[in-house]
């Protein structure tokens, strides 16, 4: 298998192993009370995240630059034939997602172009299976698969007016009819090893067929993990290539971008030396980098076609000349490697936090047992005279603790009130209200400034909500931090201070969406001549994206809140029951219900049991930690 395929496969294997290790962890964690249900919930979330993890690559270019051939060469060389049809002319007419979800049968799903007239965004339309046309693709049936791809090429003729209503302007102003794509979006679900590991490819059509599809600019491209922009050596950077670059790629600066200069085999000239050819390729790569305003190192000259042929025929020399491996290595380490590193770090952090919280409760129980044994040992040799003193000391401790608890409950009530206010700010109903208002404004507005104003108001409100929630989080963090400190000083409950939370990331994301949106708005206004349904559809996409940011901010806030308020609760209960046990022990010894030595032995036993649990906790977490840490070092080694 190709390097990239192997890398994706090993990432998939790693995720599967990790999920298995986490499942084993959850199965046995019941033996580890306390706080076991919190652990269970958290680990369940982690498993869910790993299972739905995907690596997506969008290929963007004008038609005929070789996107489809590149997909074949990079991802399907083992199939020994072209999986994605590649030919001269406009082949891909609509954005096509190629991936594999095991939960559904192999198929192609096609969304008719007429759905562009509907108000819902593409994201929402995914939830209406009845409006998609679906054709089965049996496993391993590449014949049917090819037929499915042929459907993606279908077009239809539409009157100029109707075409314009769907966002397509014709090339030739004199024609009465315009040829437009038949489908708006295609999803291919095909059982192939690399796809089954979670790779999703997004093949996009050239500029003409894209028309005014907001989803591509606002979602498909920015939400993919990397974008591969394909140019061809024989055409250089044309005006429309540049348009694609500016409109669809260069607006997303944070994106992992790879620029491919394809078809370098056209420069292989028998009458020239290899040195001359290499110099020519280097010169072209420099020129591309200069025009696009990127570093030459980001330009990958390749021959997709020769790369595919070389792989199929096992021709090592041709493979080297195709230079496909350098592109692959970059994608493997920068894209898959980085993705894996990010996910490993995130999961390690969350797993450790939840496991550590449980561990500190056990450690407190162990310390309590040790102290209690020391206390009882003080009663040896009929030192009964000390009993009233000890009893009153524990009573004092207890009432001090009760005071602390009352303070904790007070602070918690304040925090809860604050938290409710923040969650209300980040809540769905407030957002829906604002969205509806903006929709009405957009619907009523016939002019670009009106649209712009509605958007700006909506973004400003949400930004303000996020800032307010951030402020509230800081306040809660400060209040709880003080309580944590008090409990650790006064009652020896050693807990790490709660982590701070910031919705900075969400605010940045919002800024990014707004920028792209406002920039796109002007361009869209020009091509659609202010057609209301187009503007509305565009706006719906923006809304659904903003809604995602809001939802994610709300979830983040809530899970942070649980992390801040939760652990102390478990410790408080633990501490309370320890105080009660200490008093009980002394009383029972005084009443001679138990002999002192028996009681001491019992508590030593208890301590041993807790120590076993601590050991077991570490053992249980070890396989999960190993998988996560192993990876961190592997990634470091690779980039070194």
Interface with ligand GDP (CB under 6 A): 61, 63-69, 86-88, 91-92, 262-263, 265-266, 303-305
Task: Give the nearer residue to ligand GDP in terms of CB position, either 35 or 95.
Answer: 95
Is 583 in contact with 387 (CB distance < 8 Å)? no
Which of ligand GDP, Mg ion, none does residue 88 bind (CB under 5 to 8 Å by kind)?
ligand GDP
Residue 68 near Mg ion by CB under 5 A: yes
Q: What are the beta bridge partners of residue 229?
A: 60, 259
Integer Cα distance of 468 and 128 in angstroms: 36
Is 244 in contact with 60 (CB distance < 8 Å)? yes
Helix axes 532-590, 448-491, angle to 10 degrees: 10
Helix (H, G, I), strand (E, B) or coil at 320: helix
| Ramachandran area for residue 127 (φ above 0: left; ψ -120 to 50: alpha; else beta) | alpha
Is 333 in contact with 24 (CB distance < 8 Å)? no
Which of Mg ion, ligand GDP, none does residue 537 bind (CB under 5 to 8 Å by kind)?
none
Member of 56, 72, 92, 107 binding Mg ion (CB under 5 A): 92
- Helical (H) or strand (E) element with 261: strand 256-262
Stretch that binds Mg ion, among 89-97, 232-240, 613-621, 623-631 (CB under 5 A): 89-97
Query: Minimum distance from CB of 357 to Mg ion (Å)?
Result: 51
Within the chain, what is the greatest distance between any pair of CA atoms?
112
Which of ligand GDP, Mg ion, none does residue 107 bind (CB under 5 to 8 Å by kind)?
none
Which of ligand GDP, Mg ion, none does residue 545 bind (CB under 5 to 8 Å by kind)?
none
* Residue of closest CB approach to Mg ion: 68
Task: Give the nearer residue to ligand GDP in terms of CB position, either 92 or 197.
Answer: 92
Query: Minimum distance from CB of 78 to ligand GDP (Å)?
Result: 18
Which of ligand GDP, Mg ion, none does residue 372 bind (CB under 5 to 8 Å by kind)?
none
Query: Minimum distance from CB of 149 to ligand GDP (Å)?
Result: 11
**Residue among 544, 546, 536 at smallest CA distance from 212:** 536
| Ramachandran area for residue 557 (φ above 0: left; ψ -120 to 50: alpha; else beta) | alpha
Total binding residues toward Mg ion, as defined by CB under 5 A: 4
Which of ligand GDP, Mg ion, none does residue 263 bind (CB under 5 to 8 Å by kind)?
ligand GDP
Query: Minimum distance from CB of 331 to ligand GDP (Å)?
Result: 17
How far is CA 463 from each of CA 179, 350, 514, 552, rounded to the nearest angstrom?
A: 42, 27, 11, 14
Which of Mg ion, ligand GDP, none does residue 262 bind (CB under 5 to 8 Å by kind)?
ligand GDP
Integer Cα distance of 605 and 610 in angstroms: 9
Query: Minimum distance from CB of 266 to ligand GDP (Å)?
Result: 5
Task: Give the nearer residue to ligand GDP in terms of CB position, either 305 or 545.
Answer: 305
Helix (H, G, I), strand (E, B) or coil at 77: helix
Integer Cα distance of 277 and 268 in angstroms: 6
Count of alpha carbons within 13 angstroms of residue 496, beta-carbon side: 12
Task: Give the nearer residue to ligand GDP in terms of CB position, either 63 or 484.
Answer: 63
Task: Give the nearer residue to Mg ion in terms of CB position, either 92 or 305.
Answer: 92
How far is CA 79 from each of CA 58, 122, 519, rounded to the nearest angstrom?
A: 21, 32, 42
Residue 153 near Mg ion by CB under 5 A: no
Member of 91, 197, 358, 528 binding Mg ion (CB under 5 A): 91
Integer Cα distance of 561 and 169 in angstroms: 51
Integer Cα distance of 8 and 13 in angstroms: 9
Task: Give the nearer residue to ligand GDP in terms of CB position, either 60 or 553.
Answer: 60
* Residue of closest CB approach to ligand GDP: 66
Query: Minimum distance from CB of 230 to ligand GDP (Å)?
Result: 6
Query: Minimum distance from CB of 97 to ligand GDP (Å)?
Result: 15
Which of Mg ion, ligand GDP, none does residue 64 bind (CB under 5 to 8 Å by kind)?
ligand GDP
Residues interacting with Mg ion, by CB under 5 A? Answer: 67-68, 91-92
């Amino acid at each position: 298998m190709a390097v990239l395929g192997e890398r994706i496969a090993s990432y998939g294997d790693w995720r599967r192993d990790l999920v298995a290790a986490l499942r084993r962890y959850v199965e046995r964690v019941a033996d580890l009370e306390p706080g076991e249900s919190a652990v269970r919930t958290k680990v369940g979330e982690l498993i869910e995240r790993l299972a739905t993890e995907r690596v997506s690559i969008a290929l963007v270019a004008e038609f005929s630059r070789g996107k489809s051939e590149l997909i074949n060469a990079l991802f399907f060389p083992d199939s020994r034939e072209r999986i994605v049809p590649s030919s001269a002319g406009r082949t891909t007419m609509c954005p096509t997602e190629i991936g594999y979800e095991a939960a559904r049968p192999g198929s192609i799903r096609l969304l008719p172009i007429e759905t562009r007239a509907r108000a819902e965004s593409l994201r929402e339309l995914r939830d209406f299976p009845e409006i998609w046309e679906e054709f089965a693709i049996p496993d391993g049936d590449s014949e049917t698969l090819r037929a499915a791809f042929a459907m993606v090429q279908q077009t239809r003729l539409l009157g100029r007016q109707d075409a314009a209503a769907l966002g397509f302007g014709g090339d030739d102003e004199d024609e009465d009819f315009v040829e437009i794509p038949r489908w708006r979006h295609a999803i291919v679900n095909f059982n192939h090893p690399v796809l089954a590991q979670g790779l999703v490819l997004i093949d996009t059509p050239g500029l003409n067929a894209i028309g005014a599809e907001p989803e591509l600019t606002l979602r498909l491209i920015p939400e993919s993990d990397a974008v591969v922009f394909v140019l061809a050596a024989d055409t250089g950077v044309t005006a429309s290539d540049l348009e694609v670059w500016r409109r669809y790629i260069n607006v997303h600066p944070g994106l992992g971008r790879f620029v491919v200069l394809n078809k370098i085999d056209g420069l292989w000239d028998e009458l020239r030396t290899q040195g001359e050819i290499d110099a020519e390729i280097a010169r072209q790569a420099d020129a591309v980098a200069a025009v696009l305003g990127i570093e030459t190192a980001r330009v990958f000259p390749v021959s997709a076609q020769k790369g595919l042929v070389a792989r199929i025929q096992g021709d090592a020399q041709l493979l080297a000349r195709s230079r496909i491996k350098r592109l692959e290595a970059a994608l493997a380490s920068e894209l898959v490697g980085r993705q894996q590193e990010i996910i490993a770090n995130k999961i390690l952090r969350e797993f450790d936090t939840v496991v550590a919280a449980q561990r500190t409760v056990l450690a407190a129980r162990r310390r309590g047992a040790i102290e209690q044994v020391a206390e009882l040992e003080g009663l040896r040799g009929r030192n009964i005279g000390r009993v009233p003193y000890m009893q009153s000391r524990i009573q004092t401790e207890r009432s001090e603790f009760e005071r602390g608890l009352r303070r904790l409950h007070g602070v918690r009530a304040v925090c809860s009130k604050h938290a409710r206010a923040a969650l209300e700010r980040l809540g769905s109903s407030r957002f829906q209200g604002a969205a509806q208002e903006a929709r009405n404004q957009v619907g009523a507005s016939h002019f670009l400034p009106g649209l712009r104003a509605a958007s700006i108001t909506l973004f400003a409100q949400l930004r303000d909500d996020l800032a307010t929630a951030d402020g509230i989080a800081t306040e809660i963090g400060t209040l709880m931090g003080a309580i944590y400190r008090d409990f650790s000083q006064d009652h020896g409950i050693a807990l790490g201070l709660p982590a701070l939370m910031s919705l900075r990331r969400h605010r940045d994301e919002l800024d990014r969406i707004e920028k792209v949106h406002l920039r796109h708005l002007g361009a869209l206004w020009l091509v659609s001549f202010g057609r209301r349904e187009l503007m509305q559809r565009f706006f719906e996409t923006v809304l659904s994206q903003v809604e995602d940011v809001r939802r994610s901010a709300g979830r983040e806030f809530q899970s942070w809140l649980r992390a801040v308020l939760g652990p102390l609760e478990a410790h408080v209960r633990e501490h309370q029951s320890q105080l009660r046990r200490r008093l009980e022990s002394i009383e029972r010894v005084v009443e001679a219900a138990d002999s002192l030595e028996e009681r001491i032995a019992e508590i030593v036993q208890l301590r041993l049991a807790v120590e076993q649990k601590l050991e077991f906790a570490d053992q249980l977490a070890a396989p999960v930690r190993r998988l996560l840490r192993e990876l961190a070092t592997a990634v470091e080694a690779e980039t070194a």
